Chain A
Amino acid sequence: MFPKRFDQARPFVTLGIILLGWIFLPLAIKSFSRATFFEIQAPLIVADSFVRDLQTFWSNKAHSKEELLKAGQQVAGLIAEYEIVNQTNAHLEAEVLRLENLLNIPSLPDFRFEPARVARRDFSGWWSRMTIRKGSNYGIPVGAPVVFAGGVVGRVVEVHHYTAVVDLITSQTFRVAATAAGDTRPLSYQGGLNNSFSAPRGTVDFVPLDIYATVAAPKHLVTSSLGGVFPPGLTIGDITSLDPSADGLFKSGEVQLDPRLGTLTEVTVLVPLSPEE
């Protein structure tokens, strides 16, 4: 029906028409399509994650009884250690509560802890985002802080029904109010330029001039409650270098992050119990 030359170009023409159509589609339809696509994709991501878990399970099964016994002993030791820390924490919490009541200070926002399995991580954006295996089905909201045993992991930026996307602390789009340990003045932490598989790092700005840090004597960087998103005192990393800014008002520097961020399999989402906004 069509000339032979057009027949040959038909796939390209069709593709062009689809692309043009997509460009001119209303934004609402585009967003809906994207969300739907993610939801359709989600079971595959979750299934893939479960398969990996199964794989890990079987590889763990291959360990000898002796190895398991040793690991069990280590775990028992750790549990005992955590029990002591737990008791100390409970004591400190009671003391903080007493002081809050005494000084009439409002309590810090409380969180519900929602553990979640890491489902996926793109090689192209290894240090930017990760997908976790829980979403709105577990009441996870956008903006919720995500932590692990070593400190801050990131913040939830997208929530789908079964999954949620976390903007990692290593990402350049992640920024949080922080304080140097033992200080109360707010600083700004932001993710840095991180190549896949390199040691993770970030940058810190607006550091007061009387704070010093070097590789040999790093300064611990923790979250500040002033920002209102993260609870105070969560580890971000260690400031390893600081240089004065050109205007002489502050210092800026580099923050060394926990290398375990690259191999995370389990994280905890802090779900605010009384969301402010």
Chain B
Amino acid sequence: MSRLIESRTHRNPRLMLFHGAIVALVVVLASGLAYRQLLKTGLYTERERLQNLRRVVSPGPRGNIYDREGRLLVANRPRFSVVLDLAELRSEFRSEYKSIKRNYDALPKDERPNADQMERIARSTVAQRYLDQVNLILKRNEKIRSTELNRHINQTLLLPYVLLDDLAPEEYARLIERLPVTSPLQVYTSSTRHYPYNSAAAHTLGYVGINSDPEVEDFPGEDLLTFKMKGNTGRTGLEKLYDLDLQGEAGGAIYRVDPAGYKVDLPVEKRLPVQGHNITTSLDIDLQQAAEARMKDAEGNDRTGAAVALDVRTGEVLVLSSKPDYDLNSFVPHLTTAEAEKIAEDGAWFNQAIAGAYPPGSTFKILTSIAAMRSGRVTPDQPITDCDGAVMIGNKRFVCENGEGHHGEIHLAQAIAHSCDIFFYEAGRLATVDGLAAEAKRFHLDQRTGIELPGETGRMVIPDPAWKEKTQKERWYPGDLANMSIGQGYVLVTPLDMACFAASVARNELFTKPTILHHPNAPTQHAPPIGLTPAQRTTLLEGMEGATIYGTAKFFSTPNMKIPGVRIAAKTGTAQKRVVKDGQLGTINCAWLICFAPLENPEIAVAVMVEGENLGETFGGGTYALPVADAILKKYFEKKAAAANAPKLVNVTAK
């Protein structure tokens, strides 16, 4: 019987067909499987990798900025926050969701929230439960912001969710001690910019803004979905110019995630962030603070102005101050709208020291003196005019604004000391406009100094007839030369320019290249000599020193201002600037002072410019600018004396 069935089975064509179809199907399946498993393996592995892995990029801390003596001007401050690791709460979210759903099931269907809403409620409830633990420890009453939490879960799930930010040290200590080590709640530290001297050198140091796109170099997984923690980027000042150096190397981590995006296990790849390079500036924070403290009015408000001090030998900037300014710490974590409006209202965004172009007033008379002496038409010991208080130039009457206005027949040194306008109208005329302009250009007063700071203006003007014709569409009048001779009219320079000019005159050279970076062994700068004979130079210095003894800067010799044992060469100045104040057009005075000391072997050069507060107010450079320069010089020589008296370390070599 069985043989019969067997023989029938073997011969059944339909069964054979069925077997064939089965075989064909198996072959198709096996081929498909082989195609997927063998040929397409790479593709699916890649898809699985992209789906299962996430990359987190954390920025490196920025480098520090120091002053020339190694004091921290800009540092990173730890910022403690309490964060929630959402990946560990997944099961709690789920069970809370179920519980909420059960509760709502009792309501009619149309009154129930939808699944998405219930999920949001569940997340907020769980997070609030953890926040309540923190509230209990810190005695606070904080609430979860549901929208923010859900946005965080949807967009940056792998990053810790910050419950409370910028904790005080006591709060951080309490949490450290009371939160269980294994809790999803943890104390998290990040770094934020910190400015120990608040507003000191604010414009020079600059501030940072948020960089939401930090890049990590040579770290795998560029094609993976990447979450980036926010970092900082320099917006102004040194923070901006040296942003690439200060920026640390970002770190990264690659996590394996489950289908919902929650991380599982430890990172499969991790690189720690590295701090950026440090910068040592040439600033001396003691001098900077001394200058800024004196740039205030009687009510303690900032005057508008700038002060710059340079090391005469190296060109290193010791002080670069612009007022009004702002507290750099107010930019951390971000500047509020009210604070930004206040800064704008005060005009504090503007860096007066390098971006403000002003007429230099009588400080320019030093240049006029040099030009006149080099022309050979003015000699050190020959009076060139008789000052009786006024002179007609063209058809306009020019008065001597300084002193009593009746200087009589004086020679150059006295004219510099008393800042006699009539003398310099004549000296300018003798030097000629082209001679004056050429001399100013020799000193590079028409150029940017090239200091390593962003925002240095190029609006400085050394006028001549061609310039006036081109820009003002007017011819050059004799009165223009008279104005130019005393640093008024169209002449515009920055306070930094004038500090460089003072340093150049101090070294008896033509120009000074300022630098804001400190090099411990910086060589003395050298530029071509000015070209004055020894007698001419002596006359110039005699006039500048005379100013501090009996002339317009004689406040330097008063008991309060005098620096014992230090001879100072100075020149004051006053210029008028047209402004609109409280809806009224008028002029305000700009008080100037340039100086260097010690006279016999100059080390420090200073330029100060302070704007007057009221329209039409008249005052000289000695009133507002001199005390600022005096504060800088005093601090400088105090420190020098202290350093000289400090006990020295002696190397003892064993014999």
Contact = CB atoms under 8 A, between A and B. Distances in A.
B76 A226 contact: no
B273 A186 contact: no
B136 A277 contact: yes
Contact of A246 (B76, B137, B180, B272): B272
Interface in A187-207: 188, 190, 206
B6 interface: no
Q: By CB atoms of chain A within 10 A, which of B177, B189, B274, B275 has the most?
A: B177
B191 interface: yes
A190 B178 CA distance: 12
A206 to B, nearest CB: 7
A248 interface: yes
Contacts of A173: 180-182
A172 B182 CA distance: 10
B251 interface: yes
A247 B64 CA distance: 12
Given A190-B181, A226-B169, A247 B273 contact: yes
Nearest to A155: B177
Contacts of B172: 177, 186
A257 interface: no
Interface residues of B, number: 27
B174 interface: yes
Interface stretch (A36-44, A67-75, A227-235): A227-235
Contact of A249 (B76, B170, B181): B76
Given A190-B181, A247-B191, A177 B173 contact: yes
Given A175-B177, A248-B61, A206 B189 contact: yes
Nearest to B274: A246
A277 B132 CA distance: 13
B527 interface: no
B225 interface: no
A177 B177 contact: yes
Contact of B176 (A172, A188, A246): A188
A250 interface: yes
A185 interface: yes
Contact of B173 (A224, A247, A249, A250): A224
Contacts of A250: 78, 189
Q: Which of A172, A177, A248 gathers most chain B CB within 10 Å?
A: A248
Contacts of A175: 176-177, 179, 181
B169 A186 contact: yes
Nearest to A208: B78
B60 interface: yes
Nearest to A176: B177
A277 B180 CA distance: 16
Contacts of B191: 247-249
B176 A176 contact: yes
A226 B136 contact: no
A191 to B, nearest CB: 9
A94 B272 CA distance: 50
Contacts, number: 72
B60 A227 contact: no
Contacts of B177: 175-177, 227-230
Interface string A60-80: 000000000000000000000
Contacts of A190: 181
**Contact residues of B: prevailing secondary structure:** mixed
Given A172-B181, A186-B169, A277-B136, A247 B174 contact: no
Which DSSP category, helix, strand, loop or mixed, fits chain A's interface? loop
B102 to A, nearest CB: 16
B132 to A, nearest CB: 12
Contacts of B174: 177, 226-228
A53 B356 CA distance: 86
B169 A246 contact: no
Contacts of A186: 169-170, 172-173, 176
A172 B187 CA distance: 16
B60 to A, nearest CB: 7
Nearest to A230: B177
A185 B172 CA distance: 11
B60 A226 contact: no
Interface in B145-201: 169-170, 172-174, 176-182, 187, 189, 191
Contacts of A249: 61, 76, 78, 189, 191
B78 A206 contact: yes
Contact of B170 (A226, A247, A277): A226
A178 B265 CA distance: 30
Contacts of B169: 185-186, 226
A247 B275 contact: yes
A248 B187 CA distance: 18
Nearest to B251: A246
Contacts of B181: 172-175, 190
A176 B178 CA distance: 8
Contacts of B274: 246
Nearest to A227: B177
A277 B191 CA distance: 32
A247 B178 contact: no
B75 to A, nearest CB: 9
B275 A248 contact: yes
Nearest to A246: B272
A117 B60 CA distance: 50
Contacts of B189: 206, 247, 249-250
Contacts of B173: 177, 186, 224, 226-228
Contacts of B182: 173
Interface string B70-108: 000000101000000000000000000000000000000
Contact of B273 (A229, A246, A277): A246
A277 B135 CA distance: 12
Contacts of A206: 78, 189
A250 B61 CA distance: 12
Contacts of A247: 60-61, 76, 189, 191, 248, 272-273, 275
Contact of B178 (A172, A224, A227): A227
A171 to B, nearest CB: 9
A246 B275 CA distance: 7
Contacts of A172: 181
Nearest to B172: A186
A224 B170 CA distance: 10
Interface string B441-461: 000000000000000000000
A172 B180 CA distance: 11
B160 to A, nearest CB: 15
A118 B443 CA distance: 86
Contacts of A229: 177-178
6 contacts: A174-B181, A175-B181, A176-B177, A177-B176, A227-B173, A230-B177
Given A206-B78, A227-B178, A246-B273, 18 more contacts: A174-B181, A175-B177, A175-B179, A175-B181, A176-B177, A185-B169, A188-B176, A224-B173, A226-B170, A227-B173, A227-B176, A228-B177, A230-B177, A246-B251, A247-B61, A247-B189, A247-B191, A249-B191
Complex A-B, nearest 3 residue pairs according to Cβ-Cβ distance, in ascending order: A227-B177, A226-B173, A248-B275
